[in-house]
Chains A and B, each alone.
Chain A
Amino acid sequence: MGSRIIIERYTKGQVRLAVLTTRHKRGQMIKFSQQQLKTPKFMRPVYLVTAGQSKYGRAIPEKRTEELCIDALTMAAELLNLTPAELKKYIHTCYYGHFADHFGDQLLGEAVIHDRLGLDPLGNVGIKSGGATGGSTLWEAAKAVASGYSDCVLAMGWERMDEVPTDEGNFLIACAADRDWESPMGQIYTGYYAVMAQKYWQVFGKAEASFRRTLAEISVKHHGYARFNPFAHGAMKITVDDVLMSPMVADPLRALDACLMSVGAACAILCDEDTAMELTENTKNKPLRIWVTAGSHTLRPADRRTMEIPLLPNETADQYKKLGKEFPGADRYPGFTGFLAARIAAYYAYRMTGVTDPTADFDVIELHDAFTISDVQTYEDIGIRPYGHGRDYVESGDCYHTNPHTGRPGKLPSNLSGGLIGCMHAVGASGIMQVFEIASHLWGRWAEVHGDEKRWKEFGREKPADWTDLQVTGAKRALSVSHAGVGSHVTATVLMDPDHLLKKDA
């Protein structure tokens, strides 16, 4: 087989695929069946009615994990003007996201939390999918309501990463890689992802100094937004040069390009329509429609085979015809430059909810910024920018609350919480924290939740004198992406004001 570029199109229902990759010397490209690419469908609408979170910190020695979970559930109840006991009476099943048992040295930690939350005799189950654990927990919770099994479910996630020294923490995280083929090499998960970052850096970033500065801008933005978030523990007023001078971790990534390691808990309550209306009556929380989808890709990046690019609704096969020419080295999809799991989660989510252009259809998003460079990779995987052009989302100013070039609202603000870089990465909670954050915009409660002097004081944090209200005015639709390490699992969560749906039968 030669190295020619092959363009093929399939039009079978909603399946449109473009074959863009060279087929030479690599065996057959893998293909996905129509059944695998079917647009998911919930049996009935699912609503997010409230959410809550604890304080996040690098270490919280004064509290047990269950105390943090109770803090989160209590907050969720308070946003509905209820006591925790009143809210608990509605809950029918519980989904617990907790990634790393060995961090807390407690197998079946979910059972401990369930017990301490006093939720017997309800069915409950633990969810684990690495960095995507929070998103996967919501995925399971949403399906429980969508299927009719439960009318009200609790999705609670947490992580405790402060009970071992950092190098042992790195070892424990590396246990999530393949124990025979990857972990022995350095026992450092960052390294297993970093080879992908290097590929993106050289192929799509062309190893340009200007791109390096763009990456640094993301760090500045996320640490900066975290300053206005009392829950966050990575608040910093820094400059691009500060990022560029921070210690090297794995070239070109430096310490300030990386996410935090955190302790904390977050929860969400999902309901059917009747329960949602009852629980939110006379509250400031309008029930929000919620959809969650998920994708996967090989645990070992080494196993990734060439395939066609699954196209999102705002893309055409033609636009990627010259990808390999425009970016030499990009002729192997997804190679090490993209995350198939993120692409597939978006593929399902957009078709499920009627999204045709994520930049235009969403008002605010929270992405899984494990590293500045993976944030950029995700812009492309979820179609905010075409492959190879992710950096433009930052450089245009579209990703900011207020576009620094125009002084006008950013087209699609991202990670106003501070994200994983500025707010937290308490793994099992992260995906739920993201949903808490985007929901607070759709509820119009961002300032109330983040500006409350009492909360700043209670968390022992000083509210900055230049605290700024980051509420996205009139936000009606939002997206969050929860992502595991090298992209083995990714979920996409879409929230919409039910009066602003894009698809009637979604």
Chain B
Amino acid sequence: MSQYGQVQVKDNRYKFRGDFHRLEQHMPIRNADEGWKLVGVTKPRDMTYVHTYGGEAIFFESLSQGKLLATKCENPACEANGSIFQPFRIYCPDCLSKGTVIDMTDLAKKSATVHTFMVCERSGAFNMLDKPIRFINIEFENVCTILFSYLLVGEPHMGMRVVPVFKYHNPTYTILDLSWVPAGTKAESLPEGFGF
């Protein structure tokens, strides 16, 4: 019986358990217009990748705890000294010194506005969001970058004040655990699993 692939790190090494790939039969591709001659074969493949968040793990872990972390360059010799980066960057892009991790949840609650947005009717395979997807880019006071995310409730417009919501229950431990709703949205309007 197959079992989902699971991984943990022990003694600084990955320990794998379960199935990480499944074998399926190749199937012929034939040309219906030319006497069903062979054209090629299908190449089915189902495999699971393993991926580390490295120095960003703290950011993804914090989302399901209701915290939005960012980094700040505090290198006095750097031109970007004082810049806050969201997306969270492990290193300052200018001086490459390690950024100081800061909690910007309150800052986001007070100052997040939609810089731009897009309502997208389509998605690719393996999409986990409901369509249409309301992509938004968010500006914050004193933050030099513009975070890309998605709006969970309502219709976006530029300049719209939004506040972060977090997936506390059944988190995915991905960027999907962070979303946004219009300022003033009531807790009861949030989809299951999300909270302020």
Chain A residues in contact with chain B, CB under 8 A? 25-28, 30-31, 61-62, 105, 165, 167-174, 179-182, 184-192, 194-199, 202, 248-251, 300-306, 329, 336
Contacts A202-B158, A300-B148, A306-B144; A248 near B118 (Cβ below 8 A): no
Q: Which of B17-36 contact A (CB under 8 A)?
A: 29, 31
Contacts A179-B51, A180-B174, A202-B158; A192 near B148 (Cβ below 8 A): yes
Q: Say yes or no for B104: interface residue by CB 8 A criterion.
A: no
Asked if B124 and A27 sit within 8 Å, CB to CB, the answer is: no
Asked if A302 and B135 sit within 8 Å, CB to CB, the answer is: no
- In the complex, residue of chain B having the shortest beta-carbon distance to the beta carbon of A253: B118
Instruction: Report Cα–Cα, A191/B136, bound state, in Å.
Output: 10
Asked if B144 and A26 sit within 8 Å, CB to CB, the answer is: yes
Chain B residues in contact with chain A, CB under 8 A? 29, 31, 39-40, 43, 51, 53, 56, 60, 79-87, 89, 93-94, 115-129, 133, 135-137, 141-150, 158, 172, 174-176
With both chains docked as a complex, state the minimum distance between the C-beta of B69 and any C-beta of chain A, in angstroms.
13
With both chains docked as a complex, state the minimum distance between the C-beta of A257 and any C-beta of chain B, in angstroms.
13
With both chains docked as a complex, state the minimum distance between the C-beta of B89 and any C-beta of chain A, in angstroms.
8
Asked if A248 and B121 sit within 8 Å, CB to CB, the answer is: yes
Asked if B158 and A300 sit within 8 Å, CB to CB, the answer is: no
Contacts A26-B143, A306-B144, A336-B137; A250 near B175 (Cβ below 8 A): no
Contacting residue for A197 out of B118, B146, B176, CB 8 A? B118
With both chains docked as a complex, state the minimum distance between the C-beta of A242 and any C-beta of chain B, in angstroms.
19
Instruction: Report Cα–Cα, A199/B85, bound state, in Å.
Output: 21
Asked if A250 and B118 sit within 8 Å, CB to CB, the answer is: yes
Contacting residue for A181 out of B31, B129, B135, B148, CB 8 A? B148
- In the complex, residue of chain B having the shortest beta-carbon distance to the beta carbon of A164: B125
Which residues of A are found within 8 Å of B133, using beta-carbon distances? Answer: 185-186, 188, 191
With both chains docked as a complex, state the minimum distance between the C-beta of B32 and any C-beta of chain A, in angstroms.
11
- In the complex, residue of chain A having the shortest beta-carbon distance to the beta carbon of B121: A248
Which residues of B are found within 8 Å of A181, using beta-carbon distances? Answer: 87, 148, 175
A198-B118, A250-B121, A251-B118 provided; 13 other pairs, C-beta below 8 A?
A: A27-B142, A180-B60, A184-B176, A186-B124, A186-B135, A189-B124, A195-B136, A195-B137, A198-B116, A301-B137, A302-B87, A302-B146, A305-B144
Asked if A28 and B175 sit within 8 Å, CB to CB, the answer is: no
Asked if B79 and A28 sit within 8 Å, CB to CB, the answer is: yes
With both chains docked as a complex, state the minimum distance between the C-beta of B150 and any C-beta of chain A, in angstroms.
6
- In the complex, residue of chain B having the shortest beta-carbon distance to the beta carbon of A247: B121
Instruction: Report Cα–Cα, A187/B135, bound state, in Å.
Output: 12
With both chains docked as a complex, state the minimum distance between the C-beta of B72 and any C-beta of chain A, in angstroms.
9
- In the complex, residue of chain A having the shortest beta-carbon distance to the beta carbon of B89: A303
Which residues of B are found within 8 Å of A169, using beta-carbon distances? Answer: 124
Which residues of B are found within 8 Å of A61, using beta-carbon distances? Answer: 29, 31, 39-40
Asked if A171 and B39 sit within 8 Å, CB to CB, the answer is: no
Asked if B158 and A301 sit within 8 Å, CB to CB, the answer is: no
Asked if A171 and B144 sit within 8 Å, CB to CB, the answer is: no
A-B interface, 8 closest residue pairs, ranked by CB to CB distance from nearest: A170-B124, A187-B124, A27-B83, A27-B144, A171-B124, A199-B116, A194-B118, A171-B125
- In the complex, residue of chain A having the shortest beta-carbon distance to the beta carbon of B172: A184
With both chains docked as a complex, state the minimum distance between the C-beta of B93 and any C-beta of chain A, in angstroms.
7
Asked if A303 and B120 sit within 8 Å, CB to CB, the answer is: no
Contacts A31-B79, A198-B118, A251-B118; A187 near B123 (Cβ below 8 A): yes
Which residues of A are found within 8 Å of B175, using beta-carbon distances? Answer: 180-182, 184-185
With both chains docked as a complex, state the minimum distance between the C-beta of B142 and any C-beta of chain A, in angstroms.
5
Contacting residue for B80 out of A27, A196, A251, CB 8 A? A27
With both chains docked as a complex, state the minimum distance between the C-beta of B35 and any C-beta of chain A, in angstroms.
14
Which residues of A are found within 8 Å of B124, using beta-carbon distances? Answer: 167-174, 186-189
Asked if B145 and A305 sit within 8 Å, CB to CB, the answer is: yes
Contacting residue for A336 out of B89, B116, B121, B125, CB 8 A? B116
